[in-house]
């Protein structure tokens, strides 16, 4: 199957079955999303959603978080992965946000990456979800599913290489949604250790299924 056809079928399937995919992180404004995404690194959205209400109640905006100590923030996020580092990142992020951007969430990758705890993936999530920009955040699910479906070549061995492979073939208007499609498919169907190929409706053009299962 030609790569163009593979992408066409991928987009066609999800456009029909999941026309309005959304992040599973709970948030009510861009600041809360930024905090949640920083916390979600190597941690489940479910866990973040469990601890974020109390965190947001105590620190409802960047100004209050910037005035906090990392030790206090730690008490709210102790159950997430790497809580010490993340507590420091959150306070540093909030302080930079206040000092450089007046508390407003930046709208470019370059500016977002000046915030402590924000890398390329996190910046792309913010741009995609908050600003509906055609950016592709590549996490472990996107990386895995893209290779299994044959959307990214095996030679794309880094997140950036996978990002470029996807961006080269997915029309801009579909990119923000495609990010969620790949994540959700990887989270619930195309699992890392035991993919649910038997119920996957993409198996007809899945390279992994063709080589390993069938």
Q: What is the pLDDT of residues 96-152, one digit of tens each?
A: 999 999 999 999 999 999 999 999 999 999 999 999 899 999 999 999 999 999 999
Q: Say how far apart CA 67 and CA 42 lie, in whole Å.
A: 26
Q: What are phi and psi of 141, to 5 degrees?
A: -70, -45
157-168: average pLDDT:
96
Q: What's the pLDDT score for residue 212? A: 82
What is the dotted CATH code of the domain comprising 30-131? 1.10.340.30
Q: Say how far apart CA 195 and CA 174 lie, in whole Å.
A: 25
Structure tokens belonging to residue 64: 């209050």
1-17: average pLDDT:
93
Q: What's the pLDDT score for residue 175? A: 95
Q: Is the pLDDT of residue 214 over 90?
A: no
Domain layout of the chain by residue ranges: 3-21+136-213, 30-131
Q: What's the pLDDT score for residue 213? A: 73
Q: Annotated catalytic residue: which of 121, 164, 196, 207?
A: 121
Q: Say how far apart CA 14 and CA 23 lie, in whole Å.
A: 15
Q: Confirm if 190 and 181 have CB atoms less than 8 A apart.
A: no
Check whether 43 is labelled as a binding-site residue.
no
Prediction pTM value: 0.91
pLDDT band at 1 (very low <50, low <70, confident <90, very high): confident
Residue 45 annotated to the active site: no
74-90: average pLDDT:
97
Spatial CB neighbours of 84, under 8 Å, sequence gap ≥ 6:
70, 74
Q: Is the pLDDT of residue 2 over 90?
A: no
Structure tokens belonging to residue 193: 């250790």
Task: Please state which of the ranges 67-76, 109-118, 203-212 shows the lowest mean pLDDT.
Answer: 203-212
Q: What's the pLDDT score for residue 117? A: 95
Closest among 96, 112, 144, 146 to 33, alpha carbons compared: 112
Q: Say how far apart CA 48 and CA 25 lie, in whole Å.
A: 7
Q: Which CATH architecture has domain 3-21+136-213?
A: Orthogonal Bundle (1.10)
Q: What's the pLDDT score for residue 65? A: 98
Check whether 190 is labelled as a binding-site residue.
yes
160-174: average pLDDT:
96
CA 212 to chain centre: 28
Q: Annotated catalytic residue: which of 45, 86, 139, 177?
A: 139
């Amino acid at each position: 199957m030609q790569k163009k056809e593979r992408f066409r079928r991928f987009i066609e399937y999800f456009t029909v079955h999941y026309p309005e995919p959304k992040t599973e992180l709970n948030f009510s404004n861009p600041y809360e999303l930024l905090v949640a995404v920083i916390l979600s690194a190597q941690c489940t959205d479910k866990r973040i959603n469990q601890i974020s209400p109390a965190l947001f109640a105590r620190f409802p905006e960047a100004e209050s978080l910037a005035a906090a100590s990392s030790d206090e923030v730690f008490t709210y996020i102790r159950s997430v992965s790497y809580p010490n580092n993340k507590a420091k990142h959150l306070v540093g992020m909030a302080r930079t946000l206040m000092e450089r951007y007046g508390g407003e969430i930046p709208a470019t990758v370059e500016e977002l990456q000046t915030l402590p705890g924000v890398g390329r993936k996190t910046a792309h999530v913010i741009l995609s979800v908050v600003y509906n920009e055609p950016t592709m955040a590549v996490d472990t699910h996107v990386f895995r599913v893209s290779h299994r479906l044959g959307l990214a070549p095996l030679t794309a061995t880094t997140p950036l290489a996978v990002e470029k492979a996807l961006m080269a073939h997915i029309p801009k208007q579909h990119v923000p949604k495609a990010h969620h499609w790949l994540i959700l498919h990887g989270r619930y169907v195309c699992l890392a250790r035991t993919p649910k190929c038997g119920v996957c409706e993409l198996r007809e053009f899945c390279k992994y299924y063709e080589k390993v299962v069938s």
